[in-house]
Amino acid sequence: MKIFNLYNRMTDYLGEKLSDGLSTMELFYIVTFCVVFPLIYQRPDNLIQWIQYLSTAVLQAVALPLLGYVSKKSGEKIEKLTQETHDTVMLELSYMKDQQQYDMQERAKMQQIIAEIHEHMATK
C-alpha cells in the first residue's frame, strides 16, 4: 500500500511537471520552428506527401503544446471564477448570519414586550 502511494505521488509529480512543460508557448514556438525549418531544404513532392506532412508534423506536433496552453489558461480562468464565486457565497453567508443574529435579538425583544403585555393584562 505504501509503494502504491509512492507510485501515485511520483506519477502525479511527473505528470504535473510534464504537463506544465509541454503546455508552454515557448515549446509551441520551438516545435513550430522544428516543423517549418526542414521545408527550406526538403519539401514534399506531391499532394499526398503534403497532406501527410501537414497531418503528422503540423497538426500533431504543433497542436499539442498549443492545446495544452489553451487548456491550462482555461483552467486558470475557471479556478479564478470558482474562487470568486466561493468568496461571494461566503460573504453572503456572513451577511445571513449577521441578519439571523439581529432577527434573534429582535425576536427576544418582541417576546419580552409580549410578556409585559400579558403581565399587564393579567393585573387588570
Mean residue pLDDT of the chain comes to 86
**What pLDDT digit, counting tens, does each position of 16-53 carry?**
888 788 788 888 888 888 888 888 888 888 988 888 88
State the DSSP string of 43-93.
---SHHHHHHHIIIIIIIIIHHHHHHHHHHHHHHHHHHHHHHHHHHHHHHH
pLDDT attached to residue 26: 86
Q: For residue range 64-73, list pLDDT tens digits in order.
A: 777 888 888 8
* Residue appearing with cell numbers 514556438: 29
pLDDT of residue 82: 94
Any idea which of 1-10, 73-82, 89-98 has the lowest mean pLDDT?
A: 1-10
